[in-house]
């Protein structure tokens, strides 16, 4: 494609934070710890995730992770459908009333997993998600980086379609995340997920405190 990417827009009072990284890196644990800390300080927090942050999203999650095998394009469209509905019905309304929205995965998952992992092209997949979300990008994206050989051994239960995609696929997605973060500027906070979880959380809180101050959300105090 030759057209420029759609321009991301920020037209809400709230704060949007996404957690990204490979499977088994501890995203949901870090998200919960951050949510508790913010809630204790009186901040309205909406915790959500992709895929599956809505009722329709649950059905899409089931289809994409546990359903029949689908082509890479179908997979990308299923994630984009989940995202479009999630943003329109959960994320934007919360941001408009001034909440802090914490999502376990967002658009960068599609860019890394479908754009690079499934080799659909990062720019095309990003364009699809920006169209689906009317250009909504997070204010902060926390990338928890870990060797996928370590991350995948932390998982329990039967592996889903993506977890079964193979070691090379997961190495590609890790590289895609790191490259994107390196080129993506101040939206990104990259943390070594092999560090103790308290240390990782302290770094997340420190950054979120600065962000809330910058965006004029009432001070949450020191981490
Ligand atoms: P996740 O909910 O993190 O898995 P789990 O609950 O099993 O830890 O994500 C489900 C899988 O979907 C994960 O392997 C990453 C993949 N995924 C994509 O490939 N593209 C996307 O856009 C998203 C949001 C997730």
pLDDT digits (tens, 9 = 90+) for 137-179: 999 999 999 999 888 788 788 888 888 888 899 999 999 999 9
Question: What is the CA(213)–ligand 1 centre distance, in A?
Answer: 31
Smallest CA separation from ligand 1 atom 20, residue: 110
pLDDT digits (tens, 9 = 90+) for 75-94: 999 999 999 999 999 999 99
- Six-digit token pair at 11? 């037209």
Q: Is the CB of 173 under 6 A from ligand 1?
A: no
Decide if 49 contacts 103 (C-beta within 8 A). Answer: yes
Q: Is the CB of 60 under 6 A from ligand 1?
A: no
Strands (E), 13-99: 15-21, 45-49
Question: What is the CA(16)–ligand 1 centre distance, in A?
Answer: 19
Lowest mean pLDDT among 174-178, 196-200, 214-218: 214-218
d(CA 134, CA 51): 18
Instruction: Give the count of alpha carbons within 13 A of 111, CB side only.
Output: 21
pLDDT of residue 72 exceeding 60, the answer is yes
pLDDT of residue 186 exceeding 60, the answer is yes
pLDDT of residue 117 exceeding 80, the answer is yes
Domains and CATH numbers, the chain: 15-214 (3.40.50.300)
pLDDT of residue 2 exceeding 50, the answer is no
Which sign does the torsion angle of CA 188, 191, 197, 201 carry? negative
Q: What pLDDT was estimated at residue 9?
A: 65
pLDDT of residue 29 exceeding 50, the answer is yes
By CB atoms closer than 10 A (0-12, 13-18, 19+), residue 117 is: buried
Q: Is the CB of 113 under 6 A from ligand 1?
A: yes
Q: What pLDDT was estimated at residue 6?
A: 65
Note the pTM of the prediction, 2 decimals.
0.94
* Residue in 21, 65, 119, 122 to alter for ligand 1 test, most ligand atoms within 8 A of Cβ: 65
Higher pLDDT, 34 or 219: 34
Closest approach atom of ligand 1 to CA 49:
2
Contacts of 113 (CB under 8 A, 6+ apart): 162, 173
């Amino acid at each position: 494609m030759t057209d420029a990417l759609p321009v991301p827009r920020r037209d809400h009072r709230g704060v949007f934070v996404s957690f990204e990284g490979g499977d088994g890196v501890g995203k949901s644990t870090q998200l919960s710890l951050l949510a508790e800390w913010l809630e204790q300080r009186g901040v309205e927090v909406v915790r959500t995730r992709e895929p599956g942050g809505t009722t329709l999203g649950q059905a899409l999650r089931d289809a994409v992770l546990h359903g029949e095998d689908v082509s890479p394009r179908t997979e990308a469209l299923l994630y984009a459908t989940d995202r479009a509905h999630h943003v329109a019905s959960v994320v934007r309304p919360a941001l408009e009333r001034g909440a802090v929205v914490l999502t376990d995965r967002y658009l960068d998952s599609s860019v890394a997993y479908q754009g690079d992992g499934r080799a659909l092209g990062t720019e095309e997949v990003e364009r699809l998600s920006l169209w689906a979300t009317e250009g909504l990008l997070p204010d902060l994206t926390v990338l928890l980086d870990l060797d996928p050989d370590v991350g995948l051994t932390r998982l329990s239960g039967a592996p889903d379609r993506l977890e079964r995609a193979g070691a090379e696929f997961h190495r590609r997605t890790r590289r895609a995340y790191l490259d994107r973060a390196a080129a993506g500027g101040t939206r990104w906070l990259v943390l070594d997920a092999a560090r103790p979880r308290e240390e990782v959380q302290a770094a997340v809180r420190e950054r979120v405190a600065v962000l809330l101050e910058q965006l004029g959300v009432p001070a949450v105090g020191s981490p």
